[in-house]
């Protein structure tokens, strides 16, 4: 089992820590390291009680100051799904997902506690927005891990924030409640593809932040990834042309060469969050 874990880590990161002793839960760690995003599902329903169970497991994640500022909206109503899917033309796979959830950051409940006691909410600055959003992200990550454990496949959908205003209207989100990301889920119809990550020497630091050799390390990652998982097509060739070598860094530069979600700050302020 230790061998499998080390092999998975090597495939993912290009190297693995020199772990001599098999840790408890080594099989779970190997499965977690081997996770893949899943956008193709069997035409098989998921028991609603299992979905709620996964929500409960996810909501057992740590919560900033025990404030419990993450909510999950399970969208089952067909009309509601249709309206949301219509906002996601670049994610057509969503239609085939048996389950559709929206993870929200909710700072409203905290504020209501003050209102109900006639107390001023003195921490009206950036921090509540950040805390609630981080809580929602942690809960979504925990949900993904839990879903994987029972054999379900998931794919987060931050594309809902491209149309945050409309999504908020459809879901009737009040002030101080934001959609962070949606999640499509179902029983996988294939094994998925494991995508290699940046080397651990880029993203894990020791004692202090260290960027030494970053350019070379990213070039090495580009080459490692291109060798096992080349991109099927190149983005925006009309602007950038066709590149002989097309790795992760080239893809990310092209992907974000067009403005995206520039209005999100306005939306968040419109939800009465103070971002100062
Ligand atoms: C917060 C978040 C938002 C994402 N949004 C989308 C999305 O809108 N559409 C989509 O197809 N995939 C989305 N993804 C999935 C990523 O594209 C995917 O995780 C990434 O390509 C890495 O692949 P892997 O998860 O298999 O390692 C999102 C992932 C995260 C964590």
pLDDT in tens, 65-79: 999 999 999 999 999
Give the Å distance between the CA of 113 and the centre of ligand 1: 35
Tokens encoding 226: 């291109």
Q: Where are the domains of the chain?
A: 2-34+194-228, 48-192+258-270
The pLDDT value given to residue 129: 98
Instruction: For residue 68, count other CB atoms closer than 10 A to its CB.
Output: 15
Name the phi and psi angles at 44, rounded to 5.
-140, 125
| Atom 19 in ligand 1: residue holding the nearest Cα | 37
Pairing of strands 99-106, 70-74: antiparallel
Q: Which atom of ligand 1 lies closest to the CA of 137?
A: 1
Q: What is the pLDDT of residue 104?
A: 98
Q: Residue 157 C-alpha to ligand 1 middle, in angstroms? A: 7
In tens, the pLDDT along 88-128 reads 999 999 999 999 999 999 999 999 999 999 999 999 999 99
Candidate CATH numbers 3.40.50.2300, 3.40.109.10, 3.40.50.1000, 3.30.70.20; the one for domain 48-192+258-270: 3.40.109.10
Q: What pTM did the predictor assign?
A: 0.97
For 57, other C-beta atoms within 10 Å of its C-beta total 17
Point out the ligand 1 atom lying closest to the alpha carbon of residue 194. 26
CA-nearest of 257, 256, 100 to 167 is 100
Cβ proximity of 59 and 135 under 8 Å: no
C-alpha of residue 93 to centroid of ligand 1, in Å:
13
Ligand 1 centroid to Cα of residue 155, in Å, is 6
pLDDT digits (tens, 9 = 90+) for 23-49: 999 999 999 999 999 999 999 999 999
Q: What angle do CA 54, 55, 59 make, to 5 degrees?
A: 115
**Average model confidence (pLDDT) for the chain?**
97
* Residue 239: predicted pLDDT: 96
The answer to whether the Cα torsion of 113, 115, 118, 122 is positive or negative is positive
Model confidence at 22, pLDDT cuts 50, 70, 90, reads very high
Residue nearest to atom 7 of ligand 1 (CA): 157
Q: Which residues line ligand 1 (CB under 6 A)?
A: 36-37, 91, 155-159, 181, 195
**Nearest-5° Cα angle at 254, 249 to 260:** 120
pLDDT of residue 39: 98
Span from the CA of 75 to the centroid of ligand 1 (angstroms): 20
- Evaluate whether 22 touches 2 at the Cβ level (below 8 Å): yes
Give the 3-state secondary structure of residue 19.
Answer: coil
- The pLDDT confidence band at residue 255, using thresholds 50, 70 and 90, is very high
Nearest partner of 29 among 8, 15, 53, 12, judged by Cα: 8
The DSSP output letter for 132 is H
For ligand 1, atom 28: residue with the closest CA = 156
73 C-alpha to center of ligand 1: Å?
A: 19
- Eight-class DSSP state of 101: E
Calculate the alpha carbon distances from 192 to 39, 186, 208, 235 in Å. 9, 13, 36, 22
Q: For residue 11, what pLDDT band results from cuts at 50, 70 and 90?
A: very high
Helices 2-13 and 26-33, axial angle in degrees (round to 10): 20
């Amino acid at each position: 089992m230790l061998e499998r874990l080390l092999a998975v880590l090597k495939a993912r990161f290009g190297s693995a820590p020199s772990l001599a002793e098999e840790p408890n839960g080594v099989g779970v760690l190997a499965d977690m390291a081997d996770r893949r995003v899943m956008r193709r599902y069997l035409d098989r329903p998921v028991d609603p009680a299992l979905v709620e169970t996964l929500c409960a497991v996810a909501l057992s994640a740590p919560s900033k100051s025990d404030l419990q500022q993450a909510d999950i909206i399970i969208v089952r109503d067909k009309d509601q799904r249709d309206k949301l899917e219509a906002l996601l033309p670049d994610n057509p796979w969503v239609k085939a997902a048996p389950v559709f959830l929206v993870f929200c950051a909710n700072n409203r409940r905290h504020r209501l506690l003050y209102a109900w006691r006639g107390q001023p909410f003195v921490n009206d600055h950036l921090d509540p927005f950040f805390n609630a959003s981080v809580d929602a992200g942690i809960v979504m990550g925990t949900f993904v891990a839990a879903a994987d454990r029972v054999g379900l496949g998931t794919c987060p959908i931050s594309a809902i924030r491209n149309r945050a205003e409309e999504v908020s209207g459809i879901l009737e989100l009040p002030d101080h409640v934001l959609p962070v990301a949606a999640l499509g889920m179902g029983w996988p119809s294939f094994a998925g593809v494991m995508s290699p990550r940046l080397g651990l020497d880029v993203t894990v630091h020791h004692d202090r932040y260290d960027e030494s050799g970053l350019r070379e390390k990213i070039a090495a990652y580009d080459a490692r990834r291109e060798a096992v998982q080349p991109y099927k097509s190149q983005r925006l060739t009309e602007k950038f042309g066709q590149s002989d070598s097309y790795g992760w860094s080239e893809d990310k530069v092209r992907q974000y060469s067009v403005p995206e979600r520039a209005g999100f700050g306005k939306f968040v302020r419109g939800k009465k969050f103070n971002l100062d």
